[in-house]
Structure 1
Amino acid sequence: MEAESQSHVSEELQKVLLSTDLSLLRSPEAPNLINGSSQDISAVDVNDDILELDEHSFRKLVPLLRSSIENNSLNTVVEDLVNSVDDNFESLESQIMQDSQVNDNLTTSIQEMASIKNIIDGSLKDELMTLQDQLASSTNDVILKKQFFINNKKTTTKISESIILINKILQILELSNKCQELIKDGDFFKALQSLGSLEKIYLQDFRNYDFEFLKEIYSSIPLLKSKIKDESINLIKSSFNSKLEDTLLMVGNKYFDFYNEILLQEWMNSRNAMKLGNFKFNSPLEISLRDPKKLEELRLDHFYHLDEFYDSILIFQELKELNYLCEEFSKEYEFRKAKLVSPLELKSNVSSSLTKKTKSLDDLFGSGFNTEHLKKYMLRILGFLIYDKHLNRSTDYILSQNSYTTTDDFWTVLMNKLSPYLEDYISEHLNNEEELIGFKNFLGIYIAIVENLKLNIEVIYKAHVSIFQKYSALLVRLFDREFSTLLSDDDFMPLTINDKSLYEKVLKICWLKDDELQNDATMEEHAENEFYATLPFSPLYPMTCTLSKKTYNKLVAFLNNFYRHDLNHLNYLLVRTMEDIFSNIVNKKMKEKLDTTSREEIAQVLINFDYFVIAAREFSNILTKENITENPEVDIRLTSIQDLTDSRKYAETKLIELIDSKVSDLMEFVEFDWTSTELEQEPDISVRDIAQFLEMMFTSTLVNLPYSVKTLLIFREFDALTRKFLEVLLNSTPSVISRQSVLNFELNMEFLESVISKIFPNESETTIGNLDSPIPQSPEPENQRSSNLIENNIRSLQSTFTDLKQHIEFLKSQNMEEYKDSSVRMRKYPRIKPENAQLLYRKVAPRTDASSSEQERITPDNSFTDSMTSNRRIAKFFNRT
């Protein structure tokens, strides 16, 4: 760096000299400094005797020379100037050499400069020696002062170190004292932090010091840590005291009341206002409608304070002994759980399928255990579930050793143990509607809370479903009891009503046939007259309809709020309950009423069966439309429809058997005098009895039967009756009968046929609005359709006498030749068989020793018989026989 500075000064000096006007050099006038070298340089007049420079150049040279002198580099600068002459003045060499004056001046200048250099060197050496002496003196002073300073600094450092050491000792003492106070105050984590700071200070600063009292303090650290550990564990244990159980019960009650009194009521109001009848409480929709501000009431930090757990976790994390904390916590927690669920034993290996003797809650909790005790027990467990969830979540599952299912496992084990007792309690202790509904509502809220805790509700939900099963069974028993009373009180007579409002109410309650509803519309035309109406069914039917609807509405209302899961099974239970009502109660008990010989009662039971089939079918439609699975593809058809239909058919059969039996009994009294020679004017009394019985049966006793059933019975009875009389004519008559007896027999049959017109009423009698007589009880067609149907039925019934009439006509004519003529026979006697024709012809023919010609007239030849047989086959093929 110094060489570069000297070079820089030389270059600058050269530039100044090169820029100086050489004409200014005045050598002749300069004094001879070489010869006068002993003269003091201060006596030399530079301006007059050495070299005259312009003021500007001189000002430039002064700082450069001063700089070279200060840097002690004047010799170097002079040498650089000498060495640079050839380089800088080469161009002027020839000129200088030619100009003798310049040459002389230059030579003189160089000598003078060398002389100046020597003068300067001498002066500088003197000054330098003086400066060195001063510097040596100053250095000695500085060294002495520095020695004093160093000695003082060492002393100060030692004092400072002592102060720091004393402060740290005081800090240790303060930390030790503070730690004791914090432990005494129960602030164990801060106490542990103080111990950590104390230990760190001691190890860093006092490990090599032999301070006995500090060693004692340090040796007490493990004891203090152990005390902190023990006190932290004790603090956790003390939090599980008897007050916790009271807190658990309080939290369980708080949650239950909030759900029951606030959330449920708000949901019911919202559901009614928004018409959300198909949605249940605690469904996703209901949860989304809850007010978040109100849910703030359920913040768990309001009920459970877990500071001791947080501190303990931090303490044992600091001590790196979390496993020990978890083990101690687990032991205490399991003990508290066992105490909470007592007298149940969670770790017991006893099977949940216990014997009846040891399965009762009374055996567990003692006599006097009731529903309120059970609710209190379950609410305390609910409070613990909430507490356990909150504790594990708030401590990041550290205390459960990262087991995220600890609450679920506890709940699952508990419910597996409790469920048999719970099922038994439901079965044995909840015996009326109020108790079942109350406990159903309790479990419904309880399950909603547990479900929101993300716990498994499968087992407890089964108990909830069992309540519905018990409730359904109870309603079935109540229905059975009430129906039995109604059945025993029923008069088995058509329901007569003289109060229009009651009549309209009955129509709304009962399920009727479509044409009956139309008939009801015509009643409005006669509203001004005195009201009087008769319905086909007995009072049992509307009462049973009311009872069944009431039962169904109770079942639906029971399922209304809380049952959200396993809807297919619940729907099955609902349908099965209605099946029990219609099949095992209504059908079974009404069928028992058929064990009677009263035709009137059986007829009324048959009518009731006919309407109960309608009721069962309508209930099927209701169950399909309102099915709780909310599946539009579900099609429910009660099997009781078929059971009632079969019982209805059985009632028809029973009624037919009774009528047939009565007709058969009457037929036993029928006796005709086939040898009489007198014509009777009145039909036989036995025939009159049969006709009177049939007329009374179908116009009075069986008048309320369904039209199709009644018509079928009429056709069947008349068909059977005519076949019986034809059988009498063919097989029960003597070999010879008189012509008068045939006419008397015809008189009886015509009288019997005349009953047909009495059985079917005329059009005026079918008018529904006739208030002077009972309303027609069977659903008959009206107006022209009714008239045509009646005429067709009368003609059809009269056709049952066709066979009998043809046989009587044949007996009256006694013309075998007509019968032999196929064209006449097919027109007059198509229903008479050839063998029957021969038999009847013989009965009325005079019995003599007939000649062969007469015998031939009486007995047809084989060709005729073959012809008759062939014609029978053809007629039978075309259904004409």
Structure 2
Amino acid sequence: MEQEPWLTEEFQKILLSSATDNTSLQKDIGKSRNDSHLTDNRALDDTFDLNSQPIDKWVPFLRKSIEKDQLVQVIGELETSIDDNFQGLELQVIQDSQINDKLEKSINEVSNIQTSIEQNLSLEVQRFQKLLTQSTNELILQKQVFVNNKKTSLKISEAIILISKIVRILELSSKCQELITEKKFFKALQNLDNLEKLYLQEFKINYNFKFLKEIYDSIPFMKNVIKDECVNLIKSSFNSNLGKNLTEAGTKIFEHYRDEIVISWLEKRDSLHLNNFKFNSPVEISMRDQATTEEMNINNYFNLNELYDAIMIFKSLNELDDLLVDFNSEYEFRRTKIVHPITWKKNFGNVSSTPGDISLDAFAKNLTLEFLQEYLLKILGFLLYDLNLNKSTEFILVNNNYNATNEFWDNLMRRLQPYLQLYLQRAVEKEDEDNLINFKDFLGIYISILENYELDIGPLYNILIHDFSNYCELSISSMDKEFQILLNDDDFMPLLINDRNLCNKVIKICWMKEADLKLIESVNANQNDEEQFVVTLPFSPLYPMTCTLVKKVYSKLASFISTFYRHDLHSLNNILVKTIDSIFTDVVNNKIRSKLDSTSREEISQILINLDYFIIATKEFSNYMTLENIMQSPDIEISLNSIKRFKESRAYAETKLIELIDSKIYDILETVDLDWSSHEIRQDPDISIVDVAQFLEMMFASTLVNLPYSVQTLLIFREFDSLTRNLIDLLLHGTPDSISPESVLNFETDVRYLQDIIPKIFPSLKDEVAPLSLPEAQNIRPATPTTPNLNSSDPASIENNIKSLEETFIELNQCIELLKSKNSREFAEPEVRLRKYSRIKPENAALLLSKIRRSPSPGSESDSPNGGNNADSRSNFDGESNGNESKTDRFARLFRR
């Protein structure tokens, strides 16, 4: 591919046209020569001037070449083009005579022009050299002046710098004094350090300015002023922070807990059924409103800037130990004032803590709830201040003792604890329950605040437990008084209820037997709405009223510990259980037991019934406390000791009732006067025996009818056993040495009459169960009376009880049969003795046989009551002779109790 020429044809034409235009040069020269008005120089300049029009035409092409960076190539082509386009032009010029003439003339003119130019140039050069010399001299002078001025300027600059530094020192000194006046000591110390560095670097060696030295020498004094003022500011800070501000801060934080956090929690607890969780537990803390928590920031109550500055200042001065000495001295003095009127000592180990030693000092004299609250809130403010101070200063002021606040609090509590116990003791003495409740509420919130700030709550929580213990003590005392009133007002009669609503309340209030509930259901089912509701419950009004009081007391105690008692639940549970146990035992049981000294069988019978129900109540209350135990542990089983005490009282009541019945029977038997020498046979029992029977029948049918079936059965067996024992003793020891056979038959009639009342005591079977005949009774040979089924009153059980009761007459009937026997040697025969006289002891048999007078049969001396065979018979049976025993002694043994 052929290379494109750098010089375009159009540009070449322009160049050629420009060259052609220059042929008018000669004409211009001649014209300029003939023009007399032009000077030679102007003619020469005009001759060699180029025409601007062709040059203007070159410009676009040259610019284009320059932009394309082709100028060198264009110049090369231009030279080649000249050679090509002007080839032979030289010969043409030489051959043209006219041109030659013009060239000759031109040469001369050129020569003249050259000469003229040289002359002018020479003159100009001379003139220029003269001016150059003059300028050079002036320049040298100016340079000398400049150098001198420059030296002066440097000195002036140095002076300005020095003066600036001096002014800086003066400014720093003045600023230090100003900052000290404004109590900005750390900034003042920084300015002093800058002043000292500036003086040492710039003036101490190179200059000797007296006033600057005086300023430098004043630096230690100003530092001492700063240290002294820092200590004064710390004291001033203590005045503002450790004065009334402590009580204010403690009160505000306490009120924030009491009026906002506690109330909010109680509302949430009731609405969300979170009764198992206590205040300040993790659950409660997680549910707090964070906005309210931020309001309790301690920094909002105390300003510690002065202490921060002091620490930085003394650190900068490497005198922090001096600050600690001054700080601890002042802080100890402030603590002493804060804990006043308690005497402050770091170690309370040797201080007596018994309330008797402090009961008359200044603190004890002002020991009211208001005084304690104000004092403890002031202490709370100080504890929070101390915590904030130590944490904010990174425990520098306490030598990195991270437990400093707790140590102060523990030392204070060792001294304060006896006063708090004294306060509780006085509240108990005044029987002021409200004071104990208010103190508990205050102390509960106070402990929660301490716990949140990780302070030791052990000693104060022990006071809170002690408060609960005292509240329990007052509750027992209050229960004791109220129960005494109930006991005095009780009529010891079964509870008669003629109001259905009241009956329902009684069912809810107290615990009853299933039989009682069935009775109430039966009454409700069999009565119409128009009929009057009437039901009689076995217990007296004392029982439901006591259940009401006990439940009320338990509710009060549970409410007392429901909010703030979160720790040591085992101790609280023990106190609660002991309190309820004490109420049942020391109040209810002991006071009821004191009533057992009564001589009224009806009253003791009702007490026995009530005790039976109180045993049920204590068992049920034990189960209730087990389910509702404050430890929330399913493994805990609570059993009140009062159950055992009530059982003992019930047994004692049974014994007292038995003694009263025995005493009555004894009084009746004392009137018995049987004729043992009678020869007439009676068909009817003796009147005294009738009295005994009627008494027993009436007593079991009316007086003891409301007793539990098991108790009734026990008493029946006990009394009939006692009756038969007495009758046997009467037969053995209360009869003359000789009795008639007719009197034995009469005695048998009396005994059978007593035995016949047994079915009447069980009215449900009196028409169905016939008494056992004597032979049948004799064939039943249990070692002891059969124990009845204490929890059953069904017909089969009643029939068994009747049979068992009739067995108590077996020995007595056997004794009568022995007396009736015509053959006195039957007892000596083993087979007959085991069959007919199994219950009679040999010595008793000998004694009975010695008493019977038999009609002598012909030729038989052995049948004579005074014969030797009777004596032999007694000796054969190993019996003891009671012939020498008086009648009084025999009656004493008969009715011994």
The answer, yes or no, to whether TM exceeds 0.5 is yes
Name 1:505's counterpart in structure 2.
505
Name 1:448's counterpart in structure 2.
448
Name 1:395's counterpart in structure 2.
393
Give the secondary-structure state (helix, strand or coil) at the position aligned to 2:227.
Answer: helix
> Matched residues in 1 for 2:836 and 2:760: separation?
28
Name 1:352's counterpart in structure 2.
351
Distance 1:759 1:193, change over 3 A: same
The more displaced of 739-748 and 309-318 is: 739-748
Give the secondary-structure state (helix, strand or coil) at the position aligned to 1:620.
Answer: helix
Of the candidates 289, 294, 297, which is equivalent to residue 296 of structure 1?
294
Check whether the contact 2:347–2:411 (CA below 8 A) recurs between aligned residues.
Answer: no
The more displaced of 822-831 and 610-619 is: 822-831
- Partner deviation per Cα, 1:787-824 (whole Å, 9 max, x = no partner): 22222222222222233334445555636698889877
> Matched residues in 1 for 2:234 and 2:256: separation?
30
One-letter amino acid matched to 1:614? I
> Matched residues in 2 for 1:754 and 1:700: separation?
19
Check whether the contact 2:427–2:436 (CA below 8 A) recurs between aligned residues.
Answer: no
Give the secondary-structure state (helix, strand or coil) at the position aligned to 2:533.
Answer: coil
Distance 1:252 1:213, change over 3 A: same
Q: What does 1:342-421 correspond to in 2, within 5 Å?
A: 342-347=340-345, 351-354=350-353, 356=355, 358-360=357-359, 363-365=361-363, 367=365, 369-421=367-419
> Matched residues in 1 for 2:169 and 2:616: separation?
97
One-letter amino acid matched to 1:195? L
Name 2:764's counterpart in structure 1.
762
Of the candidates 273, 281, 290, which is equivalent to residue 275 of structure 1?
273
Shift of 1:353: 2.4
Check whether the contact 2:241–2:302 (CA below 8 A) recurs between aligned residues.
Answer: no
Name 1:795's counterpart in structure 2.
803
- Partner deviation per Cα, 1:664-719 (whole Å, 9 max, x = no partner): 22212112223334343432111111112111221222222222122111112112
- Partner deviation per Cα, 1:424-461 (whole Å, 9 max, x = no partner): 12211464111100001100100111111111111111
Name 2:595's counterpart in structure 1.
593
The more displaced of 160-169 and 737-746 is: 737-746
Give the secondary-structure state (helix, strand or coil) at the position aligned to 2:596.
Answer: coil
Name 1:576's counterpart in structure 2.
578
Name 1:526's counterpart in structure 2.
526
One-letter amino acid matched to 2:172? L
Name 2:495's counterpart in structure 1.
495
> Matched residues in 2 for 1:306 and 1:822: separation?
112
Check whether the contact 1:814–1:844 (CA below 8 A) recurs between aligned residues.
Answer: no
1:786 aligns with 2:825: no
Name 1:618's counterpart in structure 2.
620
The more displaced of 841-850 and 644-653 is: 841-850
One-letter amino acid matched to 1:334? E
- Partner deviation per Cα, 1:485-532 (whole Å, 9 max, x = no partner): 222222222222222221221222222233333433333312424222
Give the secondary-structure state (helix, strand or coil) at the position aligned to 1:343.
Answer: coil
> Matched residues in 2 for 1:344 and 1:712: separation?
68
Q: What does 1:225-264 correspond to in 2, within 5 Å?
A: 225-241=223-239, 244-264=242-262
Check whether the contact 1:419–1:459 (CA below 8 A) recurs between aligned residues.
Answer: yes
> Matched residues in 2 for 1:807 and 1:202: separation?
138
The more displaced of 250-259 and 403-412 is: 403-412
- Aligned-pair identity in percent equals 52
Shift of 1:304: 1.4
Check whether the contact 1:742–1:808 (CA below 8 A) recurs between aligned residues.
Answer: yes
Of the candidates 425, 428, 432, which is equivalent to residue 427 of structure 1?
425
- Under a length normalisation based on structure 2, what TM-score does the superposition of the two structures give? 0.74
Gaps of 5+ in 2: 1-71, 73-134, 768-788, 879-897
Distance 1:850 1:764, change over 3 A: closer
> Matched residues in 2 for 1:167 and 1:707: separation?
119
> Matched residues in 2 for 1:822 and 1:580: separation?
60
Distance 1:332 1:730, change over 3 A: closer
Q: What does 1:638-717 correspond to in 2, within 5 Å?
A: 638-717=640-719
- Partner deviation per Cα, 1:307-351 (whole Å, 9 max, x = no partner): 222222222222222222222222211111111111212227774
Check whether the contact 1:814–1:841 (CA below 8 A) recurs between aligned residues.
Answer: no
Name 2:465's counterpart in structure 1.
465
Give the secondary-structure state (helix, strand or coil) at the position aligned to 1:717.
Answer: helix
Of the candidates 624, 632, 635, which is equivalent to residue 633 of structure 1?
635
Check whether the contact 2:336–2:343 (CA below 8 A) recurs between aligned residues.
Answer: yes
> Matched residues in 2 for 1:352 and 1:614: separation?
52
Of the candidates 307, 310, 318, which is equivalent to residue 308 of structure 2?
310
Of the candidates 182, 190, 193, which is equivalent to residue 193 of structure 1?
190
One-letter amino acid matched to 1:353? S
The more displaced of 437-446 and 688-697 is: 688-697
> Matched residues in 2 for 1:382 and 1:272: separation?
30
Distance 1:662 1:568, change over 3 A: same
> Matched residues in 1 for 2:837 and 2:217: separation?
139
Distance 1:434 1:622, change over 3 A: same
Distance 1:550 1:209, change over 3 A: same
- Partner deviation per Cα, 1:723-771 (whole Å, 9 max, x = no partner): 3223333444445544543343233222212322222221799xxxxxx
The more displaced of 145-154 and 273-282 is: 145-154
Give the secondary-structure state (helix, strand or coil) at the position aligned to 1:534.
Answer: strand
One-letter amino acid matched to 1:647? S
> Matched residues in 2 for 1:651 and 1:255: separation?
60
Name 1:550's counterpart in structure 2.
552
Shift of 1:146: 8.8
Name 1:561's counterpart in structure 2.
563
Name 1:34's counterpart in structure 2.
none
One-letter amino acid matched to 1:166? I
One-letter amino acid matched to 1:332? E
- Partner deviation per Cα, 1:602-632 (whole Å, 9 max, x = no partner): 2222222222222222222233222222232
> Matched residues in 2 for 1:152 and 1:838: separation?
168
> Matched residues in 1 for 2:341 and 2:851: separation?
101
Root-mean-square deviation (CA), in Å?
A: 3.5
Shift of 1:859: 9.9
Check whether the contact 1:245–1:380 (CA below 8 A) recurs between aligned residues.
Answer: no
Name 1:874's counterpart in structure 2.
none
Distance 1:496 1:144, change over 3 A: same
> Matched residues in 2 for 1:838 and 1:367: separation?
86
One-letter amino acid matched to 1:451? E
Of the candidates 197, 202, 222, which is equivalent to residue 199 of structure 2?
202
Shift of 1:559: 1.0
One-letter amino acid matched to 1:490? D
Aligned length: 718
- Partner deviation per Cα, 1:549-587 (whole Å, 9 max, x = no partner): 111111111111111122222222112212221222222
> Matched residues in 2 for 1:314 and 1:234: separation?
16
Distance 1:420 1:736, change over 3 A: closer
1:160 aligns with 2:168: no
Distance 1:683 1:577, change over 3 A: same
- Under a length normalisation based on structure 1, what TM-score does the superposition of the two structures give? 0.75
> Matched residues in 1 for 2:664 and 2:328: separation?
88
Check whether the contact 1:353–1:420 (CA below 8 A) recurs between aligned residues.
Answer: no
Name 1:331's counterpart in structure 2.
329
Distance 1:140 1:320, change over 3 A: farther
> Matched residues in 2 for 1:757 and 1:588: separation?
38
> Matched residues in 2 for 1:809 and 1:557: separation?
72
Give the secondary-structure state (helix, strand or coil) at the position aligned to 2:757.
Answer: helix
Name 2:172's counterpart in structure 1.
175
Give the secondary-structure state (helix, strand or coil) at the position aligned to 1:757.
Answer: helix
Gaps of 5+ in 1: 1-58, 60-137, 766-778, 870-881
> Matched residues in 2 for 1:439 and 1:722: separation?
66
Give the secondary-structure state (helix, strand or coil) at the position aligned to 2:597.
Answer: coil
Distance 1:371 1:826, change over 3 A: closer
